[in-house]
Chain A
Amino acid sequence: MLKYFINTVFLLSCVITFAQKNSTQQDTIIKNKYGLRVGVDLFNPVNTFFDNERKGLELVGDYRISKKLYVAAELGYLENTTDEDFLNFTTSGTYLKAGIDYNAYENWLDMENAIYVGFRYGYSTFSQTLNSFTINNDAFLDGLATAEEGQKFDNLNAQWAEIVLGVKAEILNNLYLGFSFSGKKMITTKEPDGFKNLFVPGFNRVFLNNSGFGFNYTISYLIPLYKKEK
Chain B
Amino acid sequence: MKKKVTYTLLILLILIAINSCERDDICIDAITPHLIIRFYNNDIQTNFKNANLLSLKILGVDNDSITLSATDSIAIPVKSTDDLTKYILTISNTDGSINRDTFSLTYQREDIFVGRSCGFKTIFTSTNYTLQTGSENWIRSISPVTQTIKDETAAHVKIFH
Contacts and interface: CB of A to CB of B under 8 A. Distances in A.
Contacts, number: 117
Interface string B110-123: 01111111111110
Contacts of B81: 135, 141, 144-146
A102 B113 CA distance: 42
A117 B9 contact: yes
B80 A135 contact: yes
Interface string A64-108: 000010000000000000001111000000000000001010000
Contacts of A18: none
B20 A87 contact: no
Contacts of B3: 104
A133 B3 CA distance: 50
A135 B32 contact: yes
Given A135-B120, A196-B116, A211-B16, 5 more contacts: A104-B5, A117-B9, A135-B111, A136-B121, A208-B116
Interface of A: 68, 84-87, 102, 104, 117, 133-138, 140-141, 143-146, 163, 165, 181, 183-185, 194-196, 198, 207-209, 211-213
Interface of B: 2-3, 5-6, 9-10, 12-13, 16-17, 19-20, 22-25, 27, 31-32, 34, 58, 60-63, 66, 77-82, 111-122
